[in-house]
Each structure stands twice: as C-alpha cells, then as structure tokens.
A and B are shown apart, each in its own frame.
Chain A
C-alpha cells in the first residue's frame, strides 16, 4: 500500500542541517497494522509526515497506491469551538465532500462507536480517551484507508491509555483499515500490531522487523500471552535499552 525505498530526509535550518532519516526501507500492505518503534527524536514523526505527503523525501522514493491517508497526531487537535459533530465533519467540509451522503456516513460511524450522545457537546466536556476516539472517527470520516498514528496515546494517563489502545485497535480492525503507528512504547507496539519495525537512533533506518502473530488479535490476549515477555526483551535489546 505504501513503500519506502531507501528514503532519506534532511531538515535544513539556519543553525545547521539534521539528517532525520537515512536509507529507510519500509513497506506496509493493505489491512496490516504496522508499528514502528524507535528512541525519542529518532525521526518517527518525520516518517509519518513523509507517508502523509506533507514533505517530500530528499533521497530515495516513496511508492504508494492512491489511497487516502488520515493523520492522527500526537495531540488530538480537536477544535474547541466546534461540537463533536462539527469536528467529525471538518474533513468533509474541506474536501468538498460535505454532501448529505458523506455526512450521514460520518454520523453513522460516530453512532456505531458510541459517540451518539456526545455529538452536540464541545470537546472540553469529554474525557481524554473520548477525545481520542473522536479524533479517530474524524480521521475515518474523511474516508482514509491508511491511518497514520503518531503516538496518539502518549498524552493519556496509563489506565486510559490501555483502554483507548484497545478501543482504537478494534475500531481500525473492524473498519478493515491499514494502520501505520509510530511509538516509543514497546508494549503498545506488541499489543497492537501485526508487524513491528525497530528503528535505530537518528538518522533512522530499520534495524529489525518482527511479525507478531500470537494471541487472538486483541491487545488483551497479546499482553497476557507467554510470548509477550520474550518479544519485549528482544525489542528492548534491539533498541539498545
């Protein structure tokens, strides 16, 4: 669905140049949940910006099928002056797809995932977990096939984080979307994904890839599986922690 072929990316600023990514190879197939883990500041957000097409690689190339990307950011970025409904419909207004059809589909989606009673509320009245769910539905409402998730849970407290993690994973699976998640949280990556790629410190490249196929596919079963701890240790070693 999207393929990075020895991609480089260098930031240029007045104070110098920073090579964030060097020779990165990564590919993701339709329906897959791929997690990319790497140390803080190694270039994870840069990878997603490249995947979303916000920036163009300075070296190598990115092949993609023309599927829509939806970007879920490190913070939920809900507009506080809009209601939940208004936030969910924002992408439709921008893409000119604000026809009654698209809107009905978006609202049906919101209803399906338990936001019905919240549609007329402002984001400030929602809990952190609920806000992330709204952000996810907003991304899905835009008709995105490939979801780019940039540590979407990092702003949440531990308990909420576990819940939202499960929540988001099940929504993505049941909507049959493809997901590329970047995180520095090893257990989150194992619990959620079909495949985990490990990045080196900056400049980022892939040092190892692991298929994860134990458990019944839910994050819960993954966490309680005996295979969880060994994989965790392995990834930890590969990250050099």
Chain B
C-alpha cells in the first residue's frame, strides 16, 4: 500500500478519479460560499434587501475593522473563547469522571438514572436567574452555564459508550481474572474511544450554545454580548459581524476535534 510504483494503470485511474471528485466537492463548497456572499452584497447594494436590517459583507468588514481599531475585536473574541473552551473542558472531564464512577457501580447507575434523565430534559436556561444570583454576572456564571448545558450529555454519551463494550471481550477479561480497574483501563476506555470523539463533537456545539446563551443573560463582554447589544441599539452590522465570527470559531473548534479524532482513532 505504500509503494505507488506497484499500482496498475487502472488503479492509478481510480485514484485520480477519487482525487478529482474531492477537488470538485471542495470547489463547489467554496463556490457556494462565494456565491452566497456575492449575492448578499449585490442585493444589499441594489437595495433589493434593506442593508440597514440585513447588513452586507462590506459593512461586516467595515465593522470588523472598526472593532479592531478600537482594540475590542480580540477582547470580545478572547472572552467568549475562554468561556467556551473552559466550559467545554470542564464538562468533558467531569462528565468522563462521572461516567467512570457510574460504570464502576451498577447500584449508583440505577439510583442516579432518573435524576440524569430529568436534568437532561430540563431546559437549562430556566436556571439563568438562579445562576446570576449564585454566581454574579461575571464569567464564572457564563462558564457554569456552559458546563451544565454540556455536562449531562457528556455523561450520558460516555456511559453509553462504556456499556456498549462487546460482551465477549468482557467475558474474556473476566476469564483472565482482570479486576474492575484493569477491565476499565485495558478494555472499556480504549474500546469506547470512538464514542468519546462523538461526545466531544456534540459537546463543542453545546459549549457554544452555553457560552453565548450565558452572555445573553448576563453580558458584559463577549460575542454574545455584542449580539445582544447590537440588537438593542439596532446596529445590525454589529450583530451580523459577531454572528459571522461565531460561525468561524465554532467551525474551527469542531475541525480541531475532528483532527484529534483522525489522529487518535485509526
């Protein structure tokens, strides 16, 4: 598989075809994005749509420049990014630890099950006022919001992965006389690695929801704050700009997780 010289001409043609398709897909993706942006700009210029309400790419860029000039751009990005990444990491780590504990003890699993189900179904934003009272209006509150939004799903997904481990392999470990810790480290954790990667992907999305929603409720800074503030003072350019930045950041963070998956799961 390593030596390209040994390939037959048909196989080379096949590889070429695959590569061409890939290029085509990427071109189409980029083209679509360019077309959307182009149409948006065009319609705004021709005033088919009202640029005051819908903004336009050139206005977004101008706003970006303005934010950058006042030194606010990276400040707001930094705040939101810090909240999201901290919340994400905390939710994943705590969620994993709780899942391990629940896996260890069937009794605990049974006892906590209804609580987890209810907490999962609860719309976490309902806790907003409580969180403000408990934690104030700084970013602790926002990080906390992020954690509770992502945590339960992390616990449930991870635990599902643990419990899906092949029964034959579990029997094998038992027959070899493995204890719970050995079964966990040598079988359950490596076997559920793909599931962990799925959990991370879901958690990325939830962490962004958590941090932006948190900023909606108690905002002093951050991209969510810019969006809320922009809405209140009717500066839709600001709203659009912050939204675009969020798109880019969320996409980048997802891509990082996907990259980690490619490196870890083969």
Contacts and interface: CB of A to CB of B under 8 A. Distances in A.
A90 B190 contact: no
Interface in A61-77: 69-71, 73-75, 77
| Interface residues on chain A, size class | 10 to 19
A93 B175 contact: no
A13 to B, nearest CB: 16
Interface string B166-200: 10110111111110001000110011010000000
Nearest to A124: B266
A94 B175 contact: no
A77 B186 contact: no
B175 A52 contact: yes
A158 interface: no
Interface of B: 166, 168-169, 171-178, 182, 186-187, 190-191, 193
Contact of A54 (B168, B174, B182, B187): B174
B189 to A, nearest CB: 10
A8 B166 CA distance: 28
B190 A95 contact: no
Contacts of A71: 171-172, 175
A71 B178 CA distance: 13
B172 A94 contact: no
21 contacts: A52-B175, A54-B174, A54-B175, A69-B175, A71-B171, A71-B172, A71-B175, A73-B172, A77-B168, A77-B172, A79-B190, A81-B191, A90-B176, A90-B186, A91-B176, A94-B176, A94-B178, A94-B182, A94-B186, A95-B177, A142-B176
B175 to A, nearest CB: 4
Given A79-B187, A79-B190, A73 B173 contact: no
Q: A71, A74, A94 — which one has the most chain B CB atoms within 10 A of its CB? A: A94
